[in-house]
Amino acid sequence: MAEGVYDPGNIFAKILRGEIPSHRVYEDDAIVAFMDVMPQGTGHTLVVPKAPSRNILDADPAIFKPLFAIVQKVAVAVKKAFDADGVTIVQFNEPASGQTVFHLHVHVIPRFDGVPLKPHSGQMEKPEVLAENAGKIRAALGS
């Protein structure tokens, strides 16, 4: 796949098509949010537009309003769900920046005073932990 070209075989496209499982916390016509399988902290969630783009560089700007509305909703929900002290929002564009999955997504990571982030794309979390955390976020979202 040439650099800069959207690959419909990327892992998030497969998740969006339901070809591989995810722990979803939110879905509407335009946006899905699910747990990161290698969380950098408890409750690390990814907010993903359904429309295909590699990242912010090639996205239709019309997506940013609904995308960031849900980023905010999820940020408020994870803060509540885990009684977090803060929330880190991160978004990577192309390999030089650290991007590893080439479908636009925004990381929403609950933060706790004095607790550093774990490595990006580090260790896999147990599915039962992801399921439990997803349940807490869904409850905080009221869904």
Catalytic residues: 105
Q: Alpha-carbon distance 43 to 132, whole Å? A: 10
Asked if 26 touches ligand 5GP (CB under 6 A), the answer is: no
Of 56, 76, 101, 117, the one binding ligand 5GP by CB under 6 A: 101
Structural tokens at position 85: 């002290």
Instruction: With beta carbons less than 8 A apart as the criterion, state whether 70 and 143 touch.
Output: no
Query: One symbol per residue from 43 to 82: x for binding ligand 5GP (CB under 6 A), - otherwise; what is it?
Result: ----------------------------------------
Beta strands in the chain (DSSP E): 24-27, 31-35, 45-49, 86-90, 106-111
Total binding residues toward ligand 5GP, as defined by CB under 6 A: 14
Q: Can you give the binding site for ligand 5GP, defined by CB under 6 A?
A: 11, 22, 34-38, 92, 98-101, 120-121
